[in-house]
Structure 1
Amino acid sequence: MTQDDARDRLIVGLDLATVEEAEAMVARLGDAVQFYKVGFELALAGGLVLAERLAGSGKKVFVDLKLHDIGATVEKATRQVAKLGATYLTVHAYPQTLKAAAEGRGASGLKVLGVTVLTSWDAGDVREAGFSETPEQLVARRARHALEAGVDGVICAPTDLPVIRSVAPRPFHAVTPGVRPAGSAAGDQKRIATPADAIRNGADRLVVARPILSAPDPRAAAEAIIAEIAAA
């Protein structure tokens, strides 16, 4: 894998409180990073405007809103995200929600990802939520729903990649948060892997936030992860 290909595989999560902080981080990372995620916190602080601006400047953007509502609302919201020029949007992987997002995406360049099981959940959390399946069984079922609905892929824990790839080979996208370089703190993530392991197990792109944002030199931290991806 070339360095440019590896660079395209890294999505930096702008998990920051203000647009100003996010813009400062983007400037600090410079041309080292080509792909950014805007999640709930930043979106509610004006981050969707930033997402459109980043896309307009040639960066790729992942709008991580995890939509789940009645079909008509999800379809219309997905259409609005497509207008921003985003590359990815997340919706929860329920059949009606997935189908509505696929309709809203239409012929745009937006790719819809179904959320399978959050990386902060383990088997106990899945049981507590009322599911009788193991996390792996639930992930497989939701990946099948995503395939049947015609969306572009899923977002999943890196430990679930073998399950995803057994159900849905490429070009179906598998995007993984919960990626931690060796020696990094797990934080609130329960199902994690290193960048190299995630790539080897079939991830298309990796979402990394805290190990980069909290590093003394965020650009150097991003470049180290990109080098690990390239080597994998």
Structure 2
Amino acid sequence: MNNRNPIIALDFSAKEEVLQFLKPFDEKLFVKVGMELYLQEGPTIVTDLKEMGHDVFLDLKLHDIPNTVQSAMRGLAKLGADLVNVHAAGGLRMMESALEGLEAGTEAGKQRPLLIAVTQLTSTSEQQMKSEQKINLSLQESVIHYAELSKRAGLDGVVCSVLEAADINKFCGEDFLRVTPGIRLSDSTVHDQIRIATPEVARSEGSSLIVVGRAITQSENPVETYQLVKQQWEVLQ
């Protein structure tokens, strides 16, 4: 997967809304299918998007016992998604099992989907993490710990905020993906994200891929906004 364009989060509940949103675009996109859309439309939404020529990040954040995650990933591998994920909090063995499932489910001669792990959600603050998860590290230390554990499990990278991308690059290497959601234009609404950044800051801080949702999908002119995000993201490449 060589597509490093901004990933558009398709935060819709139905295929019809997705098709309406995509209609004005005349280029191959990198899109994210999250739980809301996947649970409403099922696996065919992924195969439909692939048939349309788009790259797909299937964002289901699997977190269960190793055997269950392994079996689920074996099935997801057949859908043709380019990028899938799990929660790093599931542990080393769960992440190893997820990778084993992906490899087992990928058809011979095809490249398996890239596998990344969620460290801490970008909606999570350090105070929340400490009070609700009872993690006595700093948020930065927790994210780096999960990143190192993910790399040890053989994963291709992690989901993190822009604020941790540079340190993960330092500890895990340039080839280890840092996929950063919470990307906003300077005049965009923050919504429920806490650890956010602009496309320019994401690039300068070492993000590998950025995920942009409502700043584009709720824009009056999504194509124009996407091109602006893309331009700002590419400025420092």
> Cα deviation per residue 1:2-42 (whole Å; 9 max; x = unaligned)?
xxx8x7321000001111101211223331x5100000100
Q: Which residue of 1 aligns with 2:21?
A: 25
Higher share of residues assigned helix: 1
Residues 1:196 and 2:197 aligned together: no
Residues 1:16 and 2:9 aligned together: no
| RMSD over equivalenced CA pairs, Å | 1.4
1:117 partner letter: Q
Q: Which residue of 1 aligns with 2:112?
A: 109
Residues 1:80 and 2:75 aligned together: yes
Q: Which residue of 1 aligns with 2:163?
A: 159
1:191 CA drift (Å): 0.5
2:129 partner letter: V
Distance 2:98 2:66 in 1: 8
Q: What secondary structure does 1:16 align onto?
A: coil
1:68 CA drift (Å): 0.6
1:168 CA drift (Å): 1.1
2:60 partner letter: L
Q: Which residue of 1 aligns with 2:45?
A: 50
1:47 CA drift (Å): 4.7
1:157 CA drift (Å): 0.8
Q: What secondary structure does 1:130 align onto?
A: coil
1:89 CA drift (Å): 0.6
Distance 2:205 2:38 in 1: 31
2:43 partner letter: L
1:96 CA drift (Å): 2.2
Q: What secondary structure does 2:129 align onto?
A: helix
For the Cα contact (< 8 Å) 1:19–1:47, is it kept in 2? no
1:58 CA drift (Å): 2.2
Distance 2:83 2:7 in 1: 11
Q: What secondary structure does 2:168 align onto?
A: helix
Residues 1:90 and 2:85 aligned together: yes
Q: List structure 1 segments (4+ residues) > 4 angstroms apart after TM superposition.
A: none
Q: What secondary structure does 1:170 align onto?
A: coil
1:102 partner letter: L
Distance 2:112 2:208 in 1: 17
Pick the aligned partner of 1:142 from 140, 146, 167.
Answer: 146
Q: Which residue of 2 aligns with 1:123?
A: 126
Distance 1:149 1:209 in 2: 29
1:202 CA drift (Å): 1.1
Distance 2:214 2:187 in 1: 13
Q: Which residue of 1 aligns with 2:32?
A: 37
> Cα deviation per residue 1:120-149 (whole Å; 9 max; x = unaligned)?
001111112111111100001000111100
2:119 partner letter: T
2:99 partner letter: A
1:81 CA drift (Å): 1.4
> Cα deviation per residue 1:156-186 (whole Å; 9 max; x = unaligned)?
1111112211211121111110011111111
Residues 1:181 and 2:182 aligned together: no
2:155 partner letter: V
Structure 1 stretch displaced more, 143-152 or 156-165: 156-165
For the Cα contact (< 8 Å) 1:11–1:207, is it kept in 2? yes
Q: What secondary structure does 2:31 align onto?
A: strand
For the Cα contact (< 8 Å) 1:56–1:85, is it kept in 2? no
Distance 2:42 2:59 in 1: 11
1:144 partner letter: E
For normalisation by structure 2, the TM-score amounts to 0.91
The within-5 A match list for 1:53-68 is 53-68=48-63
